[in-house]
Amino acid sequence: MGEDEEYDEVEDEFEDEEDDDDLFSVTPEARTVCHLCGGAGFIASPTLAIIGGAARTVDNGRECPHCAGSRTFNGLIPPL
């Protein structure tokens, strides 16, 4: 079994796997990553919490209000 044949077998193992999200897939149209959340789909939302009797800051995160969680915009949109 040659080196190329081993590579083909490894490649075939992952060929059928598809990501439902397709976040990193190539699209025919240009997309712009959200400028506010940086493509994460959520932004920090620090809140005060009492944990074990001590006051702490907890970051729950919330949906990005700019992209509404979609992470990208269709087309090329410059930051304003």
Closest by alpha carbon to 33, among 41, 44, 45? 41
Which residue shows structure tokens 């932004």? Answer: 43
Predicted local distance difference test score (pLDDT) of residue 70: 86
Q: Has residue 80 been placed in a domain?
A: no
Task: Say if 79 falls within a structural domain.
Answer: no
Predicted local distance difference test score (pLDDT) of residue 31: 84
**Domain tally, the chain:** 1
- As given in the structure block, the two tokens for residue 74 are 């269709």
Residue 56, in any domain of the structure = yes
**Domain interval for residue 27:** 3-74
- pTM score over 0.75: no
Give me the DSSP letters along 6-46: HHHHHHHHHHS---SS-TT---SS-EEE-TTTTTSSEE--E
Specify if 61 maps to a domain: yes
Give the per-residue pLDDT at 24: 67
Q: Which residues of the chain have pLDDT under 50?
A: none
Q: Which residues pair with 56 in a beta bridge?
A: 49
